[in-house]
Amino acid sequence: MAEVMLEVRELSTKYVTRFQESVYAVDHVSLKVEEGKSLGIAGESGCGKSTLALSLMGYYFAPLHYMSGEIIIDGRNISGMNPDDVRKSILGSEIAYIPQSAMNALNPTQKVINIIKDVFQAHDPYKTKQEIHEYARDCFECLGLPVEVLQKYPVELSGGMKQRTVIAVSVLLYPKVLIADEPSSALDVTSQKMVIKMLKKLMEDGFIKSMIFITHELPLLYNVTDDIMVMYAGQIVEKATAKEAVFDPLHPYSKGLMGSIIVPESGLRDVKLAAIPGVPPNLKNPPTGCRFAERCKFVIPECRVTSVGLKEIEGDRSYRCIFSEKELREAYLKEAYQYAR
Amino acid sequence: MLDEKPPCLSTRGLTKVFGLGNQRCVAVDHVDLDLGETEVVSIVGESGSGKTTLAKLLLGLINPTEGEVYFQGKKRDIRTQKKKREYWRNIQAIFQDPYTSFNIFNKIDAVLLDCIHMRGGRKLPQARKVELMKEACSFVNLKFEELTNKYPFELSGGQMQRLMIARIFLLKPKILFADEPTSMIDACCRATILDMLMQLRRETNMTLIFITHDIGLAYYVSDSVYIMKQGKFVESGCADDVILHPRETYTQRLINDVPKMHEAWDLSTV
């Protein structure tokens, strides 16, 4: 069995607004990423994907606050650690995080090599200038990036190249887990493919041991990750392998998400896109029952009252719904039959 | 079908050049385009291929360096502000970024009221105007009562994009450009927005032009597809032909780069 790189148990975090209201953005999330595996997180905007990514780093700053739960990286519990210690000893070397629109994270007044020097000043101040240069050059060559990039300013690079530079800089210290939050959402298809190729190469060459990939583009997620976790309103509603989650979703929300996939393949034009009506609930005071009840097609009165935990089923899958696996499958079949008529 | 009617909007040798000397950049290069009435067309290309510049030229937001635009068989004349307004009564657009498409100083009812006025409803009684606005909002699943006295930036991205469609619903233009209408919103909202646009098209019979880099979307919505590369159309035709059986190597590469569900995604070809 592969070594567990990142384990999260019942992690909850919240945002505190300036009116002292709490928004419970991540609610009792548990996950496990093994060595050499990648985990995808799917969900629509506002369901807590990015907040989860931030929370996983263990680096909390206002308005995000830690509530409860454990984050264990390679056997070391980092939850509740002093933020300064986390920044010095965890970020970069244990967990690397690529934020959304990461290409704007590059300082426009600094050359790329200076940005790399900055990383080493914080984590390994005894490295000489010469060593850093050589190291950076080797690293960039290995990742298939042109070495000239090092001597350029970020504004001289194209969007895709900037994104790949950010990724290269973030994995310089061989982190165990790489959290990539929508790394390709602002890029066109060709640059996107290059970024994905680079991420895959990072895994193969051992720069990173495991990866968490966040996006709402399901075809991309399906092609990149081994497992998919679907989030809704701060909770995990389904966890399965990529293939099962996409082609055989169980939770009504996942089912709805999969209905919105558009890919240029034959047969697409015959399918009617299924949009999920309504909006996610306000997490200031989350509903007592199932959080998806308001938008669910198969809702029954009980749904609104009893909250359901994650149900484990065979094949290492789990889902969060009041109905049993059999009932859900029957409901989907019936629906498909009605649509065909 | 196309041959019977004169094209609604057409261009001949349309060119736009930015910069001078060695900074010279030909964004749109001698484009000939014929758009029939009630057609749904997609213009697909990578970033930097000149899609948005072409849309801006057709909308009359920038002036072409060379070439002509013909609207309903006649040469387009938008030299004065009055004529421009007249032109925009027929041609409208939805832009990529909903956050920057609205005037931040105008409240939402002012935005919608403007559209009614532009359609020639300036003298309508107030009650009728409110009724029209309510109708537009309910078309896009927004509640008018909640929107009055709000500014556009108080809404979410998806809501703003829907408000944009409400504007189009009131204006009922002949031609609508949708410049990456769904690239800033997530995949589930995308289906809703597309549904609304297509429903609006069925009701008003307008010509719809999607400008996008999302090949899946282009294939899903459009009758014909134009593939753009460095300011030129490299391939065009019926959506099924172009997307499923591309002839040009550029198109083939573009379609190969999209992650798919039922085919393997070949990462080695970048």
Sort out which chain B residues have CB atoms less than 8 A from A44's CB and list them: 186-189
Within-domain flag for A280? yes
Query: How far A335 CA lies from chain B's nearest CA (Å)?
Result: 19
A212, pLDDT greater than 80: yes
Q: Which residues contact B230 (CB under 8 A, 6 or more apart)?
A: B26, B29, B49, B50
Query: How far A194 CA lies from chain B's nearest CA (Å)?
Result: 6
Residue of B nearest to A196 (CA): B267
Dmax over CA atoms of chain A, in Å, equals 72
Average the pLDDT over each of A5-14, A76-85, B105-114, B238-247 and give the range with the smallest value: A76-85
Whole-angstrom Cα distance, residue A165 to residue A187? 14
More confident residue, B262 or B164: B164
Query: How far A258 CA lies from chain B's nearest CA (Å)?
Result: 9
Give domain limits for chain B. 9-97+175-269
Whole-angstrom Cα distance, residue A168 to residue A149? 11
Within-domain flag for A79? no
Sort out which chain A residues have CB atoms less than 8 A from B44's CB and list them: none
**Predicted pLDDT of residue B54:** 92
Range of the domain at A272: 248-340
**Predicted pLDDT of residue B4:** 60
Within-domain flag for A336? yes
Q: What is the mean pLDDT of residues A248-258?
A: 89
- As given in the structure block, the two tokens for residue B248 are 């040009």
HSE-CB of A8 using CA atoms within 13 angstroms: 22
Within-domain flag for A316? yes
Average the pLDDT over each of A100-109, A162-171, A246-255 and give the range with the smallest value: A100-109
ipTM (interface pTM): 0.78
Average the pLDDT over each of A157-161, A230-234, B61-65 and give the range with the smallest value: A157-161
A239, pLDDT greater than 60: yes
**Predicted pLDDT of residue B3:** 53
Within-domain flag for A87? no
In chain B, which residue ranges form alpha helices assigned H by DSSP?
Answer: 51-59, 81-90, 108-118, 126-139, 144-147, 157-171, 187-204, 215-221, 239, 249-256
Whole-angstrom Cα distance, residue B113 to residue A64? 40
Domains contained in chain A, number: 1
Q: What is the mean pLDDT of residues A260-284?
A: 80
Query: How far B264 CA lies from chain A's nearest CA (Å)?
Result: 8
pLDDT band at A227 (very low <50, low <70, confident <90, very high): very high
> What would the pLDDT profile of A293-339 be if each residue is shown by its tens digit?
888 888 888 888 888 888 888 878 999 988 888 989 998 888 888 87
> What would the pLDDT profile of B123-136 be if each residue is shown by its tens digit?
889 999 999 999 99
Q: What is the mean pLDDT of residues A107-112?
A: 91
**Predicted pLDDT of residue B262:** 81
Burial A313-324 (b: 16+ CB within 10 A, else e): eeeebbbbbbbe
Average the pLDDT over each of A277-281, B112-116, B234-238 and give the range with the smallest value: A277-281
Is B184 part of the contact surface with chain A (CB cutoff 8 Å)? no
Whole-angstrom Cα distance, residue A23 to residue A62? 13
Q: Which of A193, A197, A275 sits opposite B195 (nearest CB)?
A: A275
> What sign results for the dihedral spanned by CA atoms A312, A316, A319, A325?
negative
How many other β-carbons are positioned within 10 Å of the β-carbon of residue A87?
Answer: 16
pLDDT band at B1 (very low <50, low <70, confident <90, very high): very low
B185, pLDDT greater than 80: no
Within-domain flag for A241? no
**Predicted pLDDT of residue A229:** 92
In terms of phi and psi (left: phi > 0; alpha: psi -120 to 50; beta: otherwise), the region of B158 is: alpha
Residues in chain A: 341
pTM exceeding the 0.80 threshold for the entire prediction:
yes
The C-alpha angle B191, B203, B140, rounded to 5 degrees, equals 45
- Residues 124-153 in B contacting A (C-alpha not used; CB under 8 Å): 141
DSSP helix/strand/coil, B205: coil
Q: B255 and A264: CB-CB below 8 Å?
A: yes
Mean model confidence pLDDT for chain A:
87
Q: Mutating which of A41, A44, A45, A247 best tests the B interface, going by the most B Cβ atoms within 10 A?
A: A45
Q: Mutating which of B186, B211, B240 best tests the A interface, going by the most A Cβ atoms within 10 A?
A: B186
Q: Classify domain B9-97+175-269 by CATH number.
A: 3.40.50.300
Q: Give percent of chain B above pLDDT 90.
A: 28
How many other β-carbons are positioned within 10 Å of the β-carbon of residue A254?
Answer: 25
- Please, what is the end-to-end C-alpha distance for chain A in angstroms? 48
**Predicted pLDDT of residue B127:** 92
